[in-house]
Amino acid sequence: MDYFLELFFGGLTRGSIYALIALGYTMVYGIIELINFAHGEIYMIGAFTALIVSSVLAFAGFSGLSVLFLAAAVAIIYSAAYGFTVEKIAYKPLRQASRLAPLISAIGMSIFLQNYVMLAQTSDFLPFPSLLPELPFLEELELSIGSTELIILMTTAVSMVLLTLLIKFTKMGKAMRATAQDRKMAMLVGVDVNRTISYTFIIGSVLAAIGGVLIASHIGRINFYIGFIAGIKAFTAAVLGGIGSIPGAVLGALILGWTESFATGYVSSDYEDVFAFLLLVIILIVRPSGLLGRSTVQKV
C-alpha cells in the first residue's frame, strides 16, 4: 500500500508540473490556434535563470528561503519576458498565414532557444540546488509524500486558483476568453487583441517558470534539453484534456502523471516516455477533441 501511495503522490506531483506547463500550451492554442513548440524551452529557461540567480546569490552569501523567492521571482520575470518576445518575433508576423508557417516557426524557435542556452551555458547536466525547504512535520505524519512533493502540489494548487480567478473575474481574463472564442468579434467590440495575446503568453510563461523552478529543485539537475521532453508531455496532457480547455489541461496532466507513475512503477521503467506518446496517439485517434473539449462543427 505504501508503494501505491508513493506512486500516487509521485504521479500527482508529476501531473502538477505537467499541468503548469500544459496550461501555457492550452491557453495559447485556445487563443491563436498555435502549438507553441517553444513553450517547453520557456520552462527550461525559467529553470536555468533560477539556477543562475541562486548561484550568484549563493556566491554573494545569501542562503535559505530568500534565495528561493528571489530566484523564483527572477525566473518568472524572465520567462515571461522570453515568452512575450518569442510571440512578438516568431508568431505575431504570422497571424494571417496558413497553419504550417507558424508551426515551422515555432519548431525553429524551439531549436534556437535550446541551442542558445546550450551554447551560452553548457551542454552538461548542471546540478540544481535544493531550494525548497524541508518540512519536518512530514516525517511525523509518515505519509508517502516528500517535502518537495508537497510543496509542489500546494504551489500548483494555489497557482490554479489564482489563474481561475484571473480568467473569471478580471477584465483581461474576459478579454482572453473573448479572443479565444472569436478574434474578429473581440476586436470589433474593442478588445486589444495584441495585448490580450501577449498577456496569454506571459501568463503561460509564468506558470511554466514556476514549474521549472519547482521541478528543478525536486530533481536536482537541469540541462538545455529538458524543455523538449517536458514540453511534449505537457502538450500531450493538454490534448488529452481537450486543447483550449483550462480544466482539461489540468485533468489531462493529472491523468498523464498518474499513468506514467503507475506504469513505470508496476510495468516497466524503460518505456517511461513511451507511455506519454502512446497516450497521445491513442487519444488523438479515438477522441481528438480530448476529454473535456468540444468537437466543433465546421461551417461550410
Partner 1 sequence: MPAIAHIRQSLIIALWFMFLTFPILVVRVNTIENIIEWRWLNMMYVGAGSFLGSFAWRYFLGRRERSASRNAVPAGTRQLAAVAVGPGYDVGPAGIALAGGVETGRSGGVEEKVSTPPAPPAKPWLHRLMDDRKLRRPLLLILAAAGTIFPFLPFTSTYQINIVTNALLYVMLGLGLNIVVGLAGLLHLGYVAFYAVGAYSYALLYHHFGIGFWTALPLGALLATLFGIALGFPILRLRGDYLAIVTLGFAEITRLVLENWNEFSFGPSGIAGIPRPGLFGWEMDLHGATIYIYFLMIFLCLLTIFVVNRLQNSRIGRAWVALREDETACEAMGVNPTAAKLTAFALGSTWAGLAGVVFAAKTTFVNPASFTFLESAMILSIVVLGGMGSILGVIIGAFVLILTPEYLRAFSEYRMLLFGLIMVMMMIFRPQGIVSGVRRIYEFHRGPGEQR
H or E segment to which residue 99 belongs: none
**Residues whose CB is less than 8 angstroms from the CB of residue 130 and which lie 6 or more positions away in sequence, other chains included:** 148, 217, 220
Beta carbon nearer to partner 1, 163 or 283: 283
The single residue among 1, 2, 59, 190 that binds partner 1, judged by CB under 8 A, is: 59
CA gap 256, 76 in Å, rounded: 25
Write out the E strands in 204-299: 221-222
Query: Binding partner 1 by CB under 8 A: which of 9, 18, 43, 128?
Result: 128
- The region of 130-138, 204-212, 259-267, 284-292 touching partner 1 under the rule CB under 8 A is 284-292
Q: Which of 9, 43, 199, 235 binds partner 1 (CB under 8 A)?
A: 235
| Neighbour tally for 277: CB within 10 Å | 13
170 DSSP assignment: S
Q: Among 52, 143, 153, 172, indicate the residue that binds partner 1 (CB under 8 A).
A: 52
Tell me the site size for partner 1, rule CB under 8 A. 70
284 binds partner 1 (CB under 8 A): yes
Residue 226 makes CB contacts below 8 A (sequence gap 6+) with 40, 43, 44, 47
Stretch that binds partner 1, among 118-126, 171-179, 204-212, 259-267 (CB under 8 A): 118-126
C-alpha cell recorded at residue 233? 508531455
| 74 forms part of the interface with partner 1 (CB under 8 A) | yes
Q: Following CA atoms 185, 189, 195, 197 in sequence, which dihedral angle do they give, to the nearest 10 degrees?
A: -20
Interaction of residue 119 with partner 1, rule CB under 8 A: yes
210: nearest Cα among 111, 119, 83: 83
Separation CA 125–CA 157 (nearest Å): 29
Using the rule CB under 8 A, is 288 a contact of partner 1? Answer: yes
Residues that bind partner 1 (CB under 8 A): 29, 33, 35, 45, 48-49, 51-53, 55-56, 59, 74, 78, 81-82, 85, 89-90, 93-94, 96-105, 107-117, 119-122, 124, 126-129, 184, 228, 232, 235-236, 239, 270-271, 273-274, 277-278, 280-281, 284-285, 288, 298, 300
